[in-house]
Chain A
C-alpha cells in the first residue's frame, strides 16, 4: 500500500470575484521512502496541494474535495485533534525559511525542540540530545541553538528548518521551495545536504519547486503541473530524456544548464491563465506553439505514454516532431503558434 495517495483532489479558493480553481482533479501516489518532485510556475497549484495534505489551507476560504489517504486514512475526514497528532510526527514541512519561518522572539533551539517536547512529552534533556543529532545531520554547530533567528544567515536558517523537520523522524517530509530564497552557491550546498539526507535516511520526500534542475538532482519521480492540472507525471529520468508534454519541453528550455551544449534560453511567451471560470480545453493551449483547434475545445486526459509515464496532451503521436521543433528558438515566438 502506498504511503500517500491522493485521488481527484479539487481545491477551489473563495475570493471577492468568485471561485478560483487552484487545483483541478489531481491524483498522485507516493510509496514509503520514495521521492517525488512537484514542478510548475508560481500559481500552478503545487504549493496548494502540499498544504492540503497537512490541512493547512484556511478552512473558510479553500474548498477541498477529493481524497487524501495517508497510511490508509483519509486525512480530509479526520478531526483536528488527530490531524494535529499526525502533523510533524508523521508528516513534516520544510518551508522557505530565508524570510520568516522562524519566530524572531524565541531562541532557535527552543523552536527546534518544541515539536518533540510537545508531541512526545519528553524531558528537555532528551529533546536536546535529539536536537544535537539532527544538527549534526545538517551540518550545524550545536552551540548555535542558543541564538536567535536574526543572528543566522539564510543558508543556516534553511538548515535549521530542515533539522526541525527531522526531529521526530516523520514518514513523509514535504519541502516547499527550500532553495528559492537563497543565493546560488548556498542553494547548491543545501541541495547537496538534502541529497545526502535522502540517501542516509528513508523518509518519503515531496519537493515542491519551480526549479526543474533541483528536482532533477533529488527526486526519483516528478510531476509537472500547470494551472492546477497535471501535465506530465513520470520518473525524472523519463521526463528528461523522453518528455512528451509541450509544457514540459517549454520548461526544460527555460532552465540553463552549465554542462550541456551552449544554447539560447527560450522562455514560454504569455502568462498562465486566470483560475476563475476555467475555460474548456487544454489549459496550456493558448500558449502552446503546437496546439490544434481540438486542444482549445477538448481537455486532454492523462494517458500512459510509457511504463509509469503519463502525459496530458492530444498530440502524443507527433511527439518526435514536437520535440524537434521545441528545440528551435523560433517555435516559441508568439506568432509562430501553429
Chain B
C-alpha cells in the first residue's frame, strides 16, 4: 500500500520534471536564467565558506594600521570598504541573504496568495468577497513606506524582512490566481467531479490546482525577483539586519560614507549581483508566461 503511494509520487515527480523540461525547451533566455539562478543558489550555500575573509573581519597590518578604502588588489579582489572589510568576501556572503530571503519570501507569498486566491475563486460567495476586499485594501498600501513602518515596529532582522515582504506581496498572486480559478472552475471535468460528489478540498487541490500551476510558477519566479529587490531596498534605507551582510546594505554603507564617487569597487559588485539574480528570475518567468498564454509562443 505504501509502496504504491510512494511509486505514485515518484512517477508524479518524474512527470512533473518532464513537463518542466518541455516548458523550457528551446527557450534559450529562460534556460540561461535558470543556470544563473542555480549558480547563485550554489553560491548561497558555499559562499561564506569559500570567502577568503570573514565579512566583518578587519585585517590589521603589522604597523597596527587598519587599511581602508583600498581599490582592488591581489590580496583583496574587490578591494576594501571604509571599515576595512573585504568586499569580495562580503559579496560572496551576501549571496546567502539575498537567495534565502528571495526564495523563502517568494515561496510563502505564493503559498499564501495562491491558496487564498484558490479558495476565494472556487468558493465564491462571502468568502470571496471578504478575501477580495482584504486584497483590495492591501493593494492600496504602498510597499516601501509600510515596510519601513513595520520594520521599525518589529525591529531589525532578516526574518522580519521576510515577514514584511510576505505580508505585503501576497496580494498580486491572490488576485491573479483567483481569476484563473474562475475560468478553470467552469470546465466540464470540474462540473462532473462535483456531480460525482467529490469534496471541495479534493476538487480544489487535485483538479483545479494543477491547472493553475503554470501561472503559480510564473508568479513564483517574479516574486523571487521582487523579494530580492525589496530586501535590497529596505537594507539600502538603513533598515536592514545589522548582523548580516546583504548586498543592499553594502550599498547603503557606501552611500552613508558618501564614498560612491571614488569607491566604485565597493558598490558595483553587489549591484551587479542583484541585477544578475533578479534578471535570472525574470528570464525564467518568460518561459512560464508562454505556457500561460500560448499565443506568445514564437511558432
Query: What CA separation (Å) do A169 and B2 show in the bound complex?
Result: 75
Nearest CB in chain A: distance from B289 CB, A = 19
Nearest CB in chain B: distance from A184 CB, A = 25
Query: What CA separation (Å) do A15 and B299 show in the bound complex?
Result: 7
Nearest CB in chain B: distance from A249 CB, A = 36
Report A-chain residues with C-beta under 8 Å of the C-beta of B299.
14-16, 61
Interface residues of B in 254-299 (CB under 8 A from A): 299
Nearest CB in chain A: distance from B261 CB, A = 51
Report B-chain residues with C-beta under 8 Å of the C-beta of A15.
299
Most central of A14, A15, A16, A61 by chain B CB within 10 Å: A16
Report B-chain residues with C-beta under 8 Å of the C-beta of A16.
299
Nearest CB in chain B: distance from A19 CB, A = 13
Residue of B nearest to A16 (CB): B299
Report B-chain residues with C-beta under 8 Å of the C-beta of A14.
299
Residue of A nearest to B297 (CB): A16
- A1-26 vs B, Cβ < 8 Å mask (1 yes, 0 no): 00000000000001110000000000
Nearest CB in chain A: distance from B39 CB, A = 30
Nearest CB in chain B: distance from A17 CB, A = 11
Nearest CB in chain B: distance from A282 CB, A = 31
Query: What CA separation (Å) do A16 and B25 show in the bound complex?
Result: 11
Query: What CA separation (Å) do A61 and B299 show in the bound complex?
Result: 8
Query: What CA separation (Å) do A16 and B294 show in the bound complex?
Result: 14
Nearest CB in chain A: distance from B145 CB, A = 37
Nearest CB in chain B: distance from A328 CB, A = 37
Report B-chain residues with C-beta under 8 Å of the C-beta of A61.
299
Residue of B nearest to A14 (CB): B299
Residue of B nearest to A15 (CB): B299
Nearest CB in chain B: distance from A117 CB, A = 31
Query: What CA separation (Å) do A253 and B299 show in the bound complex?
Result: 38
Nearest CB in chain A: distance from B3 CB, A = 38
Query: What CA separation (Å) do A14 and B298 show in the bound complex?
Result: 12
- A299-312 vs B, Cβ < 8 Å mask (1 yes, 0 no): 00000000000000
Query: What CA separation (Å) do A173 and B69 show in the bound complex?
Result: 78
Nearest CB in chain A: distance from B291 CB, A = 15
Interface residues of A in 128-156 (CB under 8 A from B): none
Nearest CB in chain A: distance from B22 CB, A = 11
Residue of A nearest to B25 (CB): A16
Query: What CA separation (Å) do A15 and B298 show in the bound complex?
Result: 11
Nearest CB in chain A: distance from B65 CB, A = 66
Query: What CA separation (Å) do A280 and B86 show in the bound complex?
Result: 73
Query: What CA separation (Å) do A106 and B299 show in the bound complex?
Result: 29
Residue of A nearest to B26 (CB): A16
Nearest CB in chain A: distance from B287 CB, A = 16
Nearest CB in chain A: distance from B61 CB, A = 64
- A47-84 vs B, Cβ < 8 Å mask (1 yes, 0 no): 00000000000000100000000000000000000000
Nearest CB in chain B: distance from A150 CB, A = 20
Query: What CA separation (Å) do A14 and B299 show in the bound complex?
Result: 9
- B119-156 vs A, Cβ < 8 Å mask (1 yes, 0 no): 00000000000000000000000000000000000000
Query: What CA separation (Å) do A150 and B299 show in the bound complex?
Result: 31
Query: What CA separation (Å) do A16 and B299 show in the bound complex?
Result: 8
Query: What CA separation (Å) do A219 and B299 show in the bound complex?
Result: 36
Nearest CB in chain B: distance from A60 CB, A = 9
Query: What CA separation (Å) do A102 and B203 show in the bound complex?
Result: 39
- B66-86 vs A, Cβ < 8 Å mask (1 yes, 0 no): 000000000000000000000
Interface residues of B in 192-216 (CB under 8 A from A): none
Interface residues of A in 81-97 (CB under 8 A from B): none
Query: What CA separation (Å) do A16 and B26 show in the bound complex?
Result: 11
Query: What CA separation (Å) do A15 and B297 show in the bound complex?
Result: 12
Query: What CA separation (Å) do A170 and B299 show in the bound complex?
Result: 33
Interface residues of A in 186-208 (CB under 8 A from B): none
Nearest CB in chain B: distance from A67 CB, A = 28
Nearest CB in chain A: distance from B288 CB, A = 19
| Residues of chain A whose beta carbon lies under 8 Å from any beta carbon of chain B | 14-16, 61
The 3 A-B residue pairs with the shortest CB-CB distance, nearest first, are: A16-B299, A15-B299, A61-B299
A-B contact pairs, 4 of them (CB 8 A): A14-B299, A15-B299, A16-B299, A61-B299
